[in-house]
Amino acid sequence: MKTVSGGVCAAKGFKAAGIHCGIRKNRTKKDLSLIYSEAPCCAAAVYTQNLVKGAPLLVTKDHIARGPVRAVICNSGNANTCNANGVEVAEAMCALAAQRLNVLPQEVLVASTGVIGQPLNLDPIREGIAPLVGALSTDGSDDAAEGIMTTDLKKKQIAVEFEIGGKICHIGGIAKGSGMIHPNMATMLVFITTDAAITGEMLQKALSTDIQNTFNMISVDGDTSTNDTVTVLANGLAENPVISEEGEDFNAFMKALNTVNVYLCRAIAADGEGATKLLECSVTGAKDEKAAKIVAKSVICSSLFKAAMFGADANWGRVLCAIGYSGAEVDISRVSVSFESCQGSVCVCQNGAGVPFSEEEAKKILLENEITIAVGLGDGEAAASAWGCDLTYDYVKINGDYRT
């Protein structure tokens, strides 16, 4: 398996585009994206666990249940959530795209991101559909990735190439996510495409399994959004033997999917609103995977610890505090903690107590933009990782006037 260029267009038969249609006032920012497959796709998706769900999620779920999918349309600047006519607008977006693409409306999935509770005007989308479809290209992943961004500062995309049954397959993805990011179907939009041949049942199984160790393990601010969606489209154009059951081929697909998802998770966490550092909590020595996950998420969710990382302060007591209230059954007297970066590693806690360390060396390590918090629990052999970011002044500034 190797990383390749192309994002969601790396897989055979996929094109993408992104334009500014007028949903957002800033004309320099794209606000409407489209992904299209030349062949019918089976699709799988996972959604937010928030009881308040955006209308596009409801429509997408219904369309996936109806059968093959050909396209995904997504707008930024407006979440189309908590609107009386939300479903009607989401269905209309699908119909507009379907008419131009010459496919059925139910073959189009839809997503929206942006401000909650404001009506979404269809006029800019209606006027933008023709130029959007006209812009579809095998080089369009970059524009599509830009069109789904809100407070994101960086575009997020990746693609990998791998082999199944002697056939070269591809899987690629784009993502948006910067604020309202929290475990349990974190807060973002992710669109993944593949030319691998796989049944819808196995595709859903692969996605639902993998998010437990990827998108459910990131947090920026503790808020779970209303519009979270991760969608995978598979058109089978790689012509590999169809993956219809678990086995060697399914494992190869799972490995490729996980590579894409882990990359996008890290990119989302690193681009958290106002963030200056990517934090990874790596937990080892847990009695089971559940305990490892609980501890890892608790550490990267701690506002006190996140603030300490912003200040490059090796305040390891905040790590133990987060472990202590996590709810996991842990013997604190066995816990060890180290801080690591490209500048080295410093052990700050052993057997649940502090050990002598150089504050200057720790500061040097924590001033880097990628920090690993290595936690050893000493209770078993299970492990897990979670991703987050530091908490900065800019997070408050960004969200203080997000709507206005």
Q: Which residues contact 391 (CB under 8 A, 6 or more apart)?
A: 221, 274, 303, 306, 307, 309, 310
pLDDT digits (tens, 9 = 90+) for 159-171: 999 999 999 999 9
Query: Distance (Å, rounded) from C-alpha 187 to C-alpha 225?
Result: 5
Query: Distance (Å, rounded) from C-alpha 206 to C-alpha 113?
Result: 25
Query: Distance (Å, rounded) from C-alpha 364 to C-alpha 283?
Result: 23
Question: Domain map of the chain by residue range?
Answer: 2-270, 278-400
Q: Which position has the token pair 């154009």?
A: 237
pLDDT (0 to 100) of residue 184: 58
Cα angle value 225/158/67 (rounded, 5°): 65
Query: Distance (Å, rounded) from C-alpha 285 to C-alpha 337?
Result: 12
CATH number of 278-400: 3.10.20.340
Backbone angles phi, psi at 283, to 5 degrees: -105, 130
Count Cβ atoms below 10 Å from residue 24 Cβ, excluding itself: 20
Query: Distance (Å, rounded) from C-alpha 80 to C-alpha 115?
Result: 8
Count Cβ atoms below 10 Å from residue 332 Cβ, excluding itself: 12
Kindly report the length of the chain.
404
pLDDT (0 to 100) of residue 350: 97
CB 224 within 8 A of CB 197: no
Query: Distance (Å, rounded) from C-alpha 146 to C-alpha 151?
Result: 11
Q: How many helices (H) and strands (E) does the chain have?
A: 11, 15
Fold of 2-270: L-amino peptidase D-ALA esterase/amidase (3.60.70)
How distant is the alpha carbon of residue 338 from its chain centre? 27
Alpha carbon distance, N-terminus to C-terminus of the chain:
45
Query: Distance (Å, rounded) from C-alpha 7 to C-alpha 175?
Result: 10
One digit per residue, the tens of pLDDT, for the chain of length 404 reads 999 999 999 999 999 999 999 998 888 899 999 999 999 999 999 988 777 888 999 999 999 999 999 999 999 999 999 999 999 999 999 999 999 999 999 999 999 998 889 999 999 999 999 999 999 999 999 999 999 998 788 899 999 999 999 999 999 999 987 655 555 554 579 999 999 999 999 999 999 999 999 988 987 766 666 778 899 999 999 999 999 999 999 999 999 999 999 999 999 888 877 789 999 999 999 999 999 999 999 999 999 999 999 999 999 999 999 999 999 999 999 999 999 999 999 999 999 999 999 999 999 999 999 999 999 999 999 999 999 998 888 888 877 876 66
pLDDT (0 to 100) of residue 387: 93
Name the strands in the sheet holding 344-350, side by side, starting at the edge strand that comes first in the sequence. 353-354, 344-350, 336-341, 370-376, 278-286, 382-389
Query: Distance (Å, rounded) from C-alpha 284 to C-alpha 286?
Result: 6
pLDDT digits (tens, 9 = 90+) for 209-264: 999 999 889 877 666 667 788 999 999 999 999 999 999 999 999 999 999 999 99
Q: Which neighbouring-strand residues pair with 253?
A: none
Query: Distance (Å, rounded) from C-alpha 194 to C-alpha 198?
Result: 10
Q: Using only C-alpha atoms, what is the Rg of the chain?
A: 22
Helix H or strand E segment including 365:
helix 359-366
Catalytic residues: 187
Query: Distance (Å, rounded) from C-alpha 212 to C-alpha 49?
Result: 13
Three-state SS across 331-351?
CHHHCEEEEEECCEEEEEEEC
Backbone angles phi, psi at 143, to 5 degrees: -70, -40
pLDDT (0 to 100) of residue 186: 47
